[in-house]
Structure 1
Amino acid sequence: MVIRYDAPLNLLVSTKGHPFDKPAFFGMFDDMRGMTWTHVEQPATAALMSPEGASDFDALLFYDVPGLQFKTPKAPNLIEPSETFKTGFRGLLNAGKPMVFLHHAVAGWPLWDDYAEAIGTRFFYQPGRYKGRAYPDSGYLFPVDFTLTPEGDHPVTQGLGSFTLTDELYLMDMLEDDIVPLLRADYAFEQANFYSAANALEARMWTRDGWDHGPGTNLIAWARAAGNSPTVTILCGNDAGTYGNENFRKLLRNAIDWVTSEDAAQWAKAR
């Protein structure tokens, strides 16, 4: 893997839409050497989503949930991105801007299929559609202990063996199959082990009544070429215990280093 060391890597970190432990989360990036980072919250992030707006950043990390306005115990309002945002985001993919999607970011922009396609999946807070096909609401479970095992040999998992986390897991489908598997979890991703996201938004946490979901993916991390952009998605990252985990921090830093490498840029263009 070829990484540029001529100047500190500059990372944009986008948040908003889901509660999290801010001191612990931002502490991860403070501890990453050879890197600077800038925090922006949605909807301000949207103004930077174009090749020109994001030109100062070497990579974009999304830990946000744009496109949803939660109204528990009522169903959330779903918001479609503006045409300006769509054009800008497509421009970023065409330009090859490196991206990392973390944990609940996979629920972003539920009315815009291009966003889920760039990630490879979508967490459905309520039943929805993707490319004309209906999907049930996704499932959640936390806290849960599980072991992560790298698949194959990839720079993102370099230096990592199997390791355990106590974090949140999702029951969901991979929507695209053109991905590179990086980590799998040793857990049974079946409806009986998870709870309905739609029920939770109706203030009925920890229930699955009226919910029907088939087996889900056990993939926890993967790489994908979205347009000309190398991207990595990591589904864990729910709380301070994970933020402080040495293996998770290594995984996240490896992902940032890889997507910003020349190797990853050439890989994405070739795919």
Structure 2
Amino acid sequence: MSTKVLALTGGHSYDVEAFRGYLGELHGCEVTWAEQPDGNALIRSGEAASYDALLCYDMPGITVKLRNPIRTEAPDAALKQGWRRLLDAGTGVVFLHHALASWPEWPEFAEIMGGIFLYRAGTVRGERHPDSGYIEHVPEEFRVVRDHPVTRGLPERFRLAGDEPYLCPVFEDSVEVLVRRVGYEEAGAYLSSEHTVLTGEERPCAGASSLVSDAAAWVRRERNSRIVYLQPGDNGSSFKSPHFVHLTRNALAWVSAVRSCGSSAAAGEE
């Protein structure tokens, strides 16, 4: 029986054809692809809650345009309720890469994801934090640190030819980290996201959040749903990586197991 997956995109540029090919490699999944704001409409209406899993590669709630002010907005009450209804229904969610920057004006959403990427300095868990950092198009190595259904079948270490590591808050006290990044440990190696957006010029980060982490994949639970975040996914080369495709397949299978087995049956599973 196929896993019904709703894939969401929009709000951030991406390689459309590479993403299409990546979705085609998610064997065993019946994928419906919606671009924002259509995805939000499906969440508001409750239709999204009928899917086994969401694959979020979107970035709603924030508008980022080079050499323009960064604009943010909070979701309306109907959209918040739609998300809560979806999580109560046990629909699993896999967040990819820049989805971590979604809804910065809605703190509850960062808690759902297990962290947040800040395009500009902001308050996280009651404390001020600087804008988040990034390094664009660099080779990355990853280390699997926990045996889990999401990481099964992956080598202990694997590489991606060119992706984009983040320097941003991760709530390690409320997530289970499965994969960590190797290298890129110095905050000075990362570029300021806010400065790049506002000026079009690159400048090292002014500082690092006290919540920064080398976590690259983690899991958590929210209401009746399982949540996975995968930090890679910046460009087409990662979407063609067998390791990244395998990781995504595992993640979708794990988050959708609650719907397949029933929330009570799956509650005690890893």
TM-score (norm 2): 0.91
Which residue identity is paired with 2:86? L
Which residue identity is paired with 2:114? G
Residues in 2 aligned to 1:228 and 1:236: alpha-carbon distance in whole angstroms: 26
Structure 1 segments (4+ residues) deviating >6 Å: none
Residues in 1 aligned to 2:43 and 2:178: alpha-carbon distance in whole angstroms: 27
Alpha-carbon spacing, 1:176–1:115, altered in 2? closer, same or farther (3 Å) = farther
- What does residue range 1-271 of structure 1 map to in structure 2 within 5 Å? 7-49=1-43, 52-161=46-155, 162-165=157-160, 166-175=162-171, 177-208=173-204, 211-214=206-209, 216-262=212-258, 265-266=263-264, 269=267
Residues in 2 aligned to 1:94 and 1:51: alpha-carbon distance in whole angstroms: 15
Contact 1:183 1:222 in 2 (8 A): yes
Partner secondary structure for residue 156 of structure 1: coil
Residues in 2 aligned to 1:24 and 1:72: alpha-carbon distance in whole angstroms: 23
Alpha-carbon spacing, 1:58–1:214, altered in 2? closer, same or farther (3 Å) = closer
Q: Give the deviation of 1:264 after TM superposition.
A: 9.5
Which residue identity is paired with 1:164? R
Which residue identity is paired with 1:220? A
Query: How much identity, in percent, do the aligned residues show?
Result: 34
Contact 1:93 1:226 in 2 (8 A): yes
Cα offsets for 1:153-175 (capped at 9, x unmatched):
10111010111112100001213
Residues in 2 aligned to 1:85 and 1:26: alpha-carbon distance in whole angstroms: 27
Cα offsets for 1:50-80 (capped at 9, x unmatched):
5832244111110011001224313211111
Contact 2:189 2:204 in 1 (8 A): no
Residues in 2 aligned to 1:95 and 1:224: alpha-carbon distance in whole angstroms: 16
RMSD: 2.0
Residues in 2 aligned to 1:130 and 1:20: alpha-carbon distance in whole angstroms: 27
Q: Give the deviation of 1:265 after TM superposition.
A: 4.5
Residues in 2 aligned to 1:169 and 1:183: alpha-carbon distance in whole angstroms: 13
Q: Give the deviation of 1:201 after TM superposition.
A: 0.8
Alpha-carbon spacing, 1:77–1:128, altered in 2? closer, same or farther (3 Å) = same
When structure 1 is superposed on structure 2, of 52-61 and 109-118 the one drifting more is: 52-61
Q: Give the deviation of 1:48 after TM superposition.
A: 1.3
Contact 1:51 1:95 in 2 (8 A): no
Q: Give the deviation of 1:242 after TM superposition.
A: 0.4
Alpha-carbon spacing, 1:154–1:267, altered in 2? closer, same or farther (3 Å) = farther
Residues in 1 aligned to 2:90 and 2:165: alpha-carbon distance in whole angstroms: 30
Alpha-carbon spacing, 1:188–1:31, altered in 2? closer, same or farther (3 Å) = closer
Which residue identity is paired with 1:186? V
When structure 1 is superposed on structure 2, of 230-239 and 56-65 the one drifting more is: 56-65
Contact 2:43 2:49 in 1 (8 A): no
Contact 1:171 1:190 in 2 (8 A): no
When structure 1 is superposed on structure 2, of 260-269 and 168-177 the one drifting more is: 260-269
Residues in 2 aligned to 1:217 and 1:158: alpha-carbon distance in whole angstroms: 23
Contact 1:117 1:176 in 2 (8 A): no
Number of residue equivalences: 264
Partner secondary structure for residue 242 of structure 1: helix
Residues in 2 aligned to 1:245 and 1:86: alpha-carbon distance in whole angstroms: 34
Contact 2:10 2:36 in 1 (8 A): yes
Partner secondary structure for residue 129 of structure 1: strand
Alpha-carbon spacing, 1:33–1:201, altered in 2? closer, same or farther (3 Å) = same
Residues in 2 aligned to 1:269 and 1:57: alpha-carbon distance in whole angstroms: 19
**Which ranges of structure 2 fall in alignment gaps of 5 or more residues?**
none
Partner secondary structure for residue 249 of structure 1: helix
When structure 1 is superposed on structure 2, of 114-123 and 182-191 the one drifting more is: 182-191
Partner secondary structure for residue 49 of structure 1: helix
